[in-house]
Structure 1
Amino acid sequence: MSAEQLNLFDLFPERAEANWEEPWPNPCIRESARARRVILKYSPRRGLELVIPTGFDRRRIPDILRNSTAWVQHQLQRPVQPTPLLPERICLPAHPTPNTRTEWSVLYQPSGGPPTWQERDGILRLNRGQDSPDLCCALLRRWLRSQAKACLDPWIHQLSRDLSLPFARLTLRSQRTRWGSCSRQGHISLNDKLLFLPTAVVRYVLIHELCHTVHLNHSAAFWQLVERHEPHYRQLKSQLKTLLNRIPAWVEDCR
């Protein structure tokens, strides 16, 4: 994915003469081969971002931004959320292997070196290059991604072999609401926040995405395949909808 900064004075020559209620930040445009549509998003930390599919006609960008003026101004006027409280303990119950560590104590240690994290004997030590809660949250998210790779990667590969449902590739992401997805090429994406959910629910999500390698839809045939491999999928699917509150605030990259 490539990225470049756009200058709004170039996009909107009339901007210098217009009386805008709020000045826009110059947007960052990112071209993504995975994008199927144009996505405009804003955060106080990252600013304004426009994600476009590969080969998108960039001559349409000014009209897209112009039509989104009200939305952008609303985002700019929203109050900045406070930095979330840093955790003293972290619990990640999702794991298929019994007697595997699922809880850690977190120690925050100021350090003059580069910001890093170290894990040993159930203690997660964060060495911060500066006293910054935002930096600590970023380190914790990096650690969470490493835990997701160590847990979810072998788990879904084992399920794939056990259920004879092969897939091409696994990607780990951190999304707000989507737990997983599967492309036509058999590329499965999983949310690293799954680690905060019960093991049975996570197993259902993995089976759900593996079944999409056969049926890339939610047809009756798809749900029959899911039920063949997970007879209690209805209860687990219903439970999944209630578990967003298990995700701690420090996991959300909202700044």
Structure 2
Amino acid sequence: MSEFITQVNPRLKGIKLQFCPYRGLIISSPKKLSNRKLAQLCLQHKHWIEQQRQKHNGKNTHLETTLNLLALEKSYSIQTHIDNNKLTLSDETISIMGENEAQQIDLLKKWIRKQAIQFYQQRIDFWSQKTGLFFKKLSVRSQKSRWGSCSSNGTISLNDQLLFMPSTVLDYIIVHELCHTVEANHSLKYWQCVENHYPNYQHQEQLLSQSVKLIPDWFRASLYT
């Protein structure tokens, strides 16, 4: 039987299989599954599991010694220790203590999320005042390729991975979503709104595509389609 981690989540409507390079196969279900059922699932999805393993074999999903947050124009050195879960920052050095690398990565991702929330709030407040386009609240999430969204009630969600990209890309995504508060679709009127407030937006779209490679594999490893 393949190695795997089981998780029970009563909110799930069915069984969910995920593959995380630094944790392996994760099987989530509304209630605890029997060993027989788990074995059947592994057998049933063995080709998909093998594909996922091969897909991530060539990627460096281990923590690196340097963390570059381009949007903040900051670079940190990373030190890891096997100990109880804790993250500390001293000058430009981040010390991460965890029982294993997976826990250390989780701690670092939570810290990065906090930096993103603080910085994104500053930028979206700036652009909201500058453009006169207003939103209800800001949400920061981790998603594989959706960089931002705007709900019908004016809640704007931004991807924390934008912190690894130039700040101009983040600003463009913010303006992009703020324009959705007045134009829900991508009509000609919508793009006129974007261009009025961010004239070089097309260059930023190109830069966004080029900047995806700046996001570390270890950060993206737990994101699923």
Normalised by the size of structure 1, how large is the TM-score?
A: 0.69
Matched residue count: 204
From 180, 200, 204, the equivalent of 1:236 is 204
- Mind listing any 5+ residue stretches in structure 1 that lack a counterpart? 1-21, 33-37, 52-68, 96-100
Structure whose residues are more often helix by fraction: 2
Distance in structure 2 (CA, Å) of the matches to 1:173 and 1:26? 24
Q: Which residue of 2 aligns with 1:87?
A: 64
Distance in 2 of aligned mates of 1:74 and 1:27: 22
Of residues 102, 108, 111, the one that matches 1:143 is: 111
Q: Distance in 2 between matches of 1:136 and 1:27?
A: 20
Aligned residue type for 1:75: W
Which has the bigger relative contact order, CA under 8 A and spacing at least 6? 2
Q: Is the 8 A contact 2:61 2:221 kept in 1?
A: no
Instruction: Measure the CA separation in 1 of the matches of 2:15 and 2:182.
Output: 29
Distance change (3 Å), C-alpha of 1:142 and 1:26 = closer
Contact kept? 1:30, 1:49, Cα under 8 Å? no
Take 2:212 and 2:51, find their aligned partners in 1: how far apart are those partners? 23
- Name the residue aligned to 1:47: 26
The answer to whether the 8 Å contact 1:91/1:104 transfers is yes
Runs (5+) with no aligned partner, structure 2: 31-41
* Distance apart, 1:196 and its partner CA: 0.8
1:75 aligned residue (48, 51, 54):
48
Letter in 1 for 2:150: C
Aligned match of 2:145: 177
Q: Determine the C-alpha separation between the residues in 1 that align with 2:184 and 2:26.
A: 35
Are the aligned partners of 2:15 and 2:27 in contact in 1 as well (CA < 8 Å)?
A: no
Looking at structure 1, the residues matched to 158 and 194 of structure 2 have their Cα atoms a distance apart, in angstroms, of 17
The CA deviation at 1:144 is 1.0
- More off after superposition, 221-230 vs 139-148: 139-148
Q: TM-score, normalised by structure 2?
A: 0.77
RMSD over aligned Cα atoms: 3.2
**1:26–1:93 CA distance, 2 compared to 1 (3 A):** closer
Contact persistence 1:42–1:75 (CA under 8 A): no
- 1:36-84 Cα deviation digits (max 9, x unpaired): xx99652255734589xxxxxxxxxxxxxxxxx9994543333534672
Bigger Rg over Cα: 1
